[in-house]
Every structure is written in C-alpha cells, then in structure tokens.
Chains A and B, each alone.
Chain A
Amino acid sequence: MGSTELILCAVTVAALDICAMVLLLCAYTDKSASKKYWKHFTGDMELAEQGCAYPLGCDEVIIGRHASADIRIPDLSVSRYHALMTVNGGAWTITDIGSKSGIYINGNLTKEAILRENDIINIGSHRLVFRKRRDKK
C-alpha cells in the first residue's frame, strides 16, 4: 500500500474518531437538558434532615437502614427497607413498605400519602422535611 493510501486510511479513521468524540460531547450536553426536564417535572425536591439533604434523583427511592437503600439512615429505629417514594404525574408519594415503626406525615400515622412542600416526615426517630432543593453555596 502506497503512502497516499496510508494517509487516506489514517484520515478515514480520524474522521470516524472525531465524529464519535463529537457525538459523545453531544451526549454530555443532552445530560443537562434531561436534568432540566426532570427538575421541571418533579419540582426539584429533596428530603432534608438537620445537617444533610438527600436529593430525589430517580422515580423510585427507597428509604431504609440497609446498605442498598437509596437514602440510607443508619439507625436501629429505622427498618431495613422502611419506605418507598415514587413520583407519578409530578407528585411525590410515600408508601410504607412493611416497616416496624411506621411513617408519620405531619404527625399523622399513614400507610401511603401524597407529599406536599414542607411536609414533615417522621421515620423512626428521624425527622425529615420534604422541600425544594437548595443549592449548596
């Protein structure tokens, strides 16, 4: 194979390489668009406790003591899998998934409830506030 053909081969591979890189960059820009859509849809909420906040980044969030729970509260008053938070039609719902101590929303024991902004959720001995996400400064 002559040098011209070799250069052409190199150019072809480089063109494909650059194209793949551009598409990867586009995937990164799409990420911010998808984040924006998620925020718009779910109201960009979080669960906050004294000193820490748990963002709600996906449609099914498990709260519990187990290491595999999405929001892990390492406290014996909390069951391994205590509650499940789901989002449907833009509204967050909390469901008790067989916990021992139950869930209290604004002081009322409940099995399932639609959450509203600034609701106070008592899980075991922990008190969580359901609120709009605040940026850390």
Chain B
Amino acid sequence: MYNPLSYVLSCLFVLIAHAAMLANVFINGNYESVTDPAILAGAVLLLDVAYFTALLFFKQTSYTIDFLLVLVLNMSVIFQSSFGQVKFDGDAIKHYITAITALIACRIGFFACRNYKSLQNKRKFIYIAIGVCIVLILTLTGSRSMWIQIGPISLQPSEFIKPLFILACATSVAEQQKKHKVLLFNVVYENIALFGLMAVICLLQWWCADLGSLPTFMAIYISGFLLRICYPKAKLSKKTYITAAVSLLVVAVIAFKFAPAYVQERLHADIWSDTNGSGYQQSQALIAIADGGWTGKGPGNGFLCNVAAHENDIVFATVCEEWGLLYALMMIFVILIMLAVPLINPPRSYYHATMSAGVCAAFTVQMALNIFGSCNMIPFTGVTIPFISAGGSSMMVSGFMIGMLAAAQSPILDNTGGQPRTAQRPPVKQPNKRPVRRKAV
C-alpha cells in the first residue's frame, strides 16, 4: 500500500458518510418494519468493507477514484432502495447487483487501459469492436427498441460504444505526426477515420430515434478533437476556430430544422399547458423539487415514485424530493470531484490525458442533460445520471469508464517489464593498452 494513512482515512470517512445516510433513513424514513432499513444497512456496509478489502490486493499509485466510486455507488443503492418506501427487495436488489457489476467493470477498465502503449498498438481491435456494436444495433435493435433481451437481462448496445469511442479518440502526439500527402493536403489517416466514425454514429442515433445520446458522443469527439486530434496543445489558430464554430452552427441549425416530429414536439413543448400529456413527467418533477425544498420530505415519503422513469430519467427530481436539494447537489458535487481528480493529478501520458478528458466530457454532458431536463431548462432527453440512475448497461459502462480514469492515475509506464533504464552514459571503452617497449639505450 502506497500511503496507509490515506487508505485508512478514506475507508473511515466513506463508512461515516454511509452510516450518516443510513441513520437518516432509520430516523426520517418511511418503512414497514425495522428489518427493511437494517438489511439495507447491512448490504451497504458489507459492500463497502468488501471493496476496501479487495483494494488491498491491487497495487496502485492512487486509490482516490476507487473510494469516490464506492461512495457514489452505495449512495445510489440507498437512494434507489428508499424511493417510495424503504425496502431492500425487487428493484433495490437488482440495483445492488448492478452496482457490484459496475465495481467489477471498473476493475476490468483499470486493467485494460493501464498500459496505453499496448492499447495504442491494438487500435484496430477497438475499431472492430465499435463495428460489431454498430452491426448489433443495426440488426437487433434500431428504431423498434434500444435493448437486446437475453433472458432476464436487457442490454443497450449503444451504451457500449461510448468507452470504445473514447479509446478511439485518444491519440498520442506521435500518432499525429504521421502525416500523409493526399492531393494538396497533409492528412492524418486516423483523423479521417474518427470523423467518419462520428458521422456513422450520428446517422445511427438518428435512425434509432435515440438523439438524447448524441450530445454525449459529440462531447467526446470535440474533447478529443480539441485536445489531440488537431494540434498538440489545442491552441488552434483563429481561422480554424471560426471555421469549426460556423460549421457546427450550420449543422445544428440544419439538424433542428429537419429534426423528426417527436423532437420538434419536445423542442416547442409547453409542459404547463399539457400537464397530463407530454408535459406530465417534467411538470411532476418540478413540483417534486419544489415540494422537497432544501432538506427533503424524508426517504420513502415522496410521491414522484408513482411517475414513470422516476428511477432513471428524472432521478434528480426524485432525490430532491425525498432527500432535499442540498443532498442532491452534494451528490452531483461528489461525481464532479471524481471527474476533477485528473486535474489534481494530471496524467503523464497524452493518451491517458485525452482518455480522461473524453470520460469527463461524457459524464458532464450526461449529468447536465438529465438535471437540466428534469428542471425543464432543456427538452427532455431521457439520458441517465452516471451511477445514480438505475440501468444495467449504463452502470456497467460508467464503471468501465471510471476504471479508465483510475488507469490514467496509476499507469504502467515501464512496458519493458524490467527495471527502468536510466539515461546513464555507458562506460567509455578504454583502448587496449600495450606495454611500452623502451628502447635500449
């Protein structure tokens, strides 16, 4: 363990935070018998202790992201178990299992992305995996449904493209120097491939009628474009900036003009004129936020649990109602801290830096879409808040993406497998000295 004091303090304070939440559930919560919150408390604390113990077996430079992840995941387990009434059964157990899956996915992401040089060499496999996801979407899902049903599990293949797309966008400076002359232009083949991929994803989302995820992909692409794909330090020339901004604006105007009917309807919807129809969810969400106030009505005392998608699409409003705006803002603050860790300890490799920027961009946009959608500041998109909303695919992918962030914090720099070769000058070979024969006088 690198810093035992940090480890012990982190464990202690995460446990205290969860214990305080559970105490709130016991005292303010709405439950039938004491065994319900007791089982919930047992499950949450058990997961905490199990993950803290598991971390001891992994040698890392930094554990902060792991502690923040387990803090957020168990917060989400407590929230989801107390919506409507505090109980640990059915959907709550399902959410608990998806939280464990997210932790496992985080470990997988960590090991997969730690050695960026091997990832860079296996770039073609990333493109193949994206291709497979696209084929799955085209053949098995699409405009009919966004999920693939495998027994009791339903998977959303479009979610799995996100981390793969981030990995594809992460490009090192060395790769950017491989320019090829095509007609009059010096081009980097990879940039063209990424642009093509972005265009394919846009068309796919359009065809699937899942335009809510499009801003997330755009954010990933733009962060990659600004950071690495264009220039080493994203200091673009004014001309490039203006051209990019104008083209983006033109594309946005055209997209809004020719958007499908259901998007047009959402863009121009007045939720208060149709509170029982298309504006039902948002109006109820706003009433719930106002009803909850700063400190909330208490866990399990809300009415928003009767509205569809209260546990994923309008989860921010549900938390606001039962736990209060103060707590909901703290929840967002903790997720933002998790995304801010790369700013405190910047990655040492450009590949990891671009990867971290992609993850942060995706999470920030997703959170913004959900929160602002719930508050009626933007049209309703149905995008989830990472780790807080219910949903297996989203949880798994979010866990994997946090694993990518953790990998950037504890990278494998020495990919030779041996001791670091220090840049020492080798001993200079001395010319063979021959015994000097003295001439006999």
- For B307-333 the 0/1 string (1 means CB < 8 A from A) is 000000000000000001011001001
Does A49 touch B at the CB level, under 8 Å? no
Residue of A nearest to B417 (CB): A89
Known: A16-B334, A23-B68, A30-B409. A41 touches B234 (CB 8 A): no
Q: Is there an interface contact between A68 and B330, defined as CB atoms closer than 8 Å?
A: no
Q: Is there an interface contact between A27 and B350, defined as CB atoms closer than 8 Å?
A: no
Q: Is there an interface contact between B330 and A37, defined as CB atoms closer than 8 Å?
A: no
Number of interface residues, chain A, beta carbon within 8 A: 60
Does B349 touch A at the CB level, under 8 Å? yes
CA distance A6 to B295 in the complex (A): 7
Q: Is there an interface contact between B423 and A130, defined as CB atoms closer than 8 Å?
A: yes
Does A52 touch B at the CB level, under 8 Å? no
CA distance A62 to B234 in the complex (A): 13
CA distance A34 to B413 in the complex (A): 11
Q: Which A residues lie within 8 Å of B64 (CB)?
A: 23-24, 26-27, 30
Q: Which B residues lie within 8 Å of A33 (CB)?
A: 2-3, 61-62
Inter-chain contact total with CB atoms closer than 8 Å:
188
Known: A8-B24, A60-B350. A90 touches B420 (CB 8 A): yes
Number of interface residues, chain B, beta carbon within 8 A: 67
Rounded to whole Å, the gap between the CB of B257 and the closest CB of chain A is 36
Rounded to whole Å, the gap between the CB of B194 and the closest CB of chain A is 19
Known: A19-B17, A23-B10, A89-B416. A12 touches B327 (CB 8 A): yes
- For B218-253 the 0/1 string (1 means CB < 8 A from A) is 000000000000011111000000000000000000
Rounded to whole Å, the gap between the CB of A27 and the closest CB of chain B is 4
Does B96 touch A at the CB level, under 8 Å? no
Q: Is there an interface contact between A12 and B61, defined as CB atoms closer than 8 Å?
A: no
CA distance A6 to B16 in the complex (A): 18
Rounded to whole Å, the gap between the CB of B221 and the closest CB of chain A is 20
Q: Which A residues lie within 8 Å of B345 (CB)?
A: 27, 30-31, 34
Rounded to whole Å, the gap between the CB of B356 and the closest CB of chain A is 13
Residue of A nearest to B326 (CB): A13
Q: Which B residues lie within 8 Å of A15 (CB)?
A: 16-17, 19-21
Known: A8-B23, A30-B63, A33-B62. A68 touches B424 (CB 8 A): no
Q: Is there an interface contact between B177 and A97, defined as CB atoms closer than 8 Å?
A: yes
Q: Is there an interface contact between A118 and B425, defined as CB atoms closer than 8 Å?
A: yes
Q: Is there an interface contact between A12 and B20, defined as CB atoms closer than 8 Å?
A: yes
Instruction: Specify which of B344, B349, B426 is in contact with A59 (CB 8 Å cutoff).
Output: B349
Residue of B nearest to A57 (CB): B348
CA distance A89 to B422 in the complex (A): 9
Q: Is there an interface contact between B409 and A90, defined as CB atoms closer than 8 Å?
A: no
Instruction: Specify which of B174, B232, B330 is in contact with A16 (CB 8 Å cutoff).
Output: B330
Contacting B at CB under 8 A, from A1-56, are 1, 4-6, 8-13, 15-20, 22-24, 26-31, 33-34, 37-38, 40-43, 45
Q: Which B residues lie within 8 Å of A68 (CB)?
A: 231-235
Q: Which A residues lie within 8 Å of B297 (CB)?
A: 1
Instruction: Specify which of A19, A27, A43, A57 is in contact with B341 (CB 8 Å cutoff).
Output: A27
- For B1-32 the 0/1 string (1 means CB < 8 A from A) is 01100100110011011011101100110000
Q: Is there an interface contact between A60 and B349, defined as CB atoms closer than 8 Å?
A: yes
Q: Is there an interface contact between B416 and A12, defined as CB atoms closer than 8 Å?
A: no
Rounded to whole Å, the gap between the CB of B51 and the closest CB of chain A is 14
Instruction: Specify which of A41, A58, A81 is in contact with B177 (CB 8 Å cutoff).
Output: A81
Q: Which B residues lie within 8 Å of A24 (CB)?
A: 64, 337, 344
CA distance A40 to B61 in the complex (A): 13
Q: Is there an interface contact between A37 and B234, defined as CB atoms closer than 8 Å?
A: no
Tell which of B10, B16, B20, B349 has the most Cβ of chain A within 10 Å: B20
Does A129 touch B at the CB level, under 8 Å? no
Q: Is there an interface contact between B28 and A8, defined as CB atoms closer than 8 Å?
A: yes
Q: Which A residues lie within 8 Å of B23 (CB)?
A: 8, 11-12
Does B437 touch A at the CB level, under 8 Å? no
Q: Is there an interface contact between A1 and B298, defined as CB atoms closer than 8 Å?
A: yes
CA distance A84 to B71 in the complex (A): 41
- For B121-155 the 0/1 string (1 means CB < 8 A from A) is 00000000000000000000000000000000000
Q: Is there an interface contact between A90 and B422, defined as CB atoms closer than 8 Å?
A: yes
Instruction: Specify which of A5, A17, A118 is in contact with B298 (CB 8 Å cutoff).
Output: A5
Q: Which B residues lie within 8 Å of A10 (CB)?
A: 295
Q: Which A residues lie within 8 Å of B27 (CB)?
A: 4-5, 8
Q: Which 5 residue pairs of A and B lie closest in terms of their CB atoms, listed nearest first?
A: A90-B420, A89-B416, A15-B20, A30-B62, A19-B17
Give me 24 A-to-B residue pairs in the complex whose CB atoms sit less than 8 angstroms apart, sorted by A's number.
A1-B28, A1-B295, A1-B298, A8-B28, A10-B295, A11-B20, A11-B23, A12-B24, A23-B337, A26-B9, A26-B63, A27-B64, A30-B409, A34-B345, A43-B423, A59-B413, A60-B350, A68-B235, A88-B415, A89-B421, A90-B420, A90-B421, A117-B425, A130-B423
Given contacts A34-B410, A38-B413, 12 further A-B pairs with CB under 8 A are: A8-B27, A15-B17, A20-B337, A23-B71, A24-B344, A31-B345, A59-B350, A84-B174, A88-B117, A89-B421, A90-B421, A91-B421
